[in-house]
Chain A
Amino acid sequence: MEETKKKQPEQTTTHKIGIYLWIWGLLFVLSFFSYMVDWYQFQGMLRWSLILVFMFLKAGLIMAFFMHLFWERYALVNVLLWPMTAIACFIFLMVAEFKYTLFTRLLYFFVGG
Chain B
Amino acid sequence: MSDPKIEGYQLKPGFKGMAADTGSDQTMFKGVHWGKAMMWIFLLSDTFVFSCFLISYMKGRGSTPVEWPNASEVFGLHVFGVDVPLLLIAIMTFVLITSSGTMALAVKYGYEKNRKMCGWLILATAIGGLTFVGMQAFEWTKLIHEGVRPWENPFGAAQFGSFFFMITGFHGTHVSIGVIFLFIYAYKTFAGHYDEGKRGWFTTMKGDYVEIEILGLYWHFVDLVWVFIFAFFYLW
Using a CB–CB cutoff of 8 Å, the interface residues on chain A facing chain B are 1, 4-5, 8, 10-15, 17, 20, 23-24, 27-28, 31, 34-35, 37-39, 41, 47-48, 51-52, 54-55, 58-59, 62-63, 65-68, 72-76, 78-80, 83-84, 87, 90-91, 94-95, 97-99, 101-102, 105-106, 109-110
With known contacts A14-B111, A83-B44, A95-B62, A4–B18 Cβ distance under 8 A = no
The chain B residues found within 8 Å of chain A, CB to CB, are 1-2, 11, 14-15, 17-18, 21-22, 28-32, 37, 40, 44, 47-48, 51, 55-56, 58-65, 72, 85-86, 90, 93-94, 97, 100-101, 103-105, 108, 111-113, 195, 213, 216-217, 220-221, 223-224, 227-228, 230-231, 234-236
B218 CB, min distance to chain A CBs, angstroms? 10
For B195, list chain A residues within 8 Å (CB): 1, 4
Whole-angstrom CA separation of A37 from B1 in the bound complex:
46
Quote the shortest CB–CB distance from A22 to chain B (angstroms).
11
Given contacts A24-B104, A68-B213, A83-B44, contact A54 B59 (CB under 8 A): no
Residue of A at shortest CB range from B15?
A74
CA distance A65 to B1 in the complex (A): 20
Which secondary structure dominates chain B's binding surface?
helix
> Mind listing 24 A-B residue pairs with CB under 8 Å?
A1-B113, A4-B113, A14-B108, A28-B94, A31-B97, A34-B235, A39-B85, A48-B236, A51-B231, A55-B230, A55-B231, A62-B100, A67-B217, A73-B31, A73-B32, A74-B21, A75-B29, A83-B44, A83-B47, A83-B48, A105-B63, A105-B64, A105-B65, A106-B65
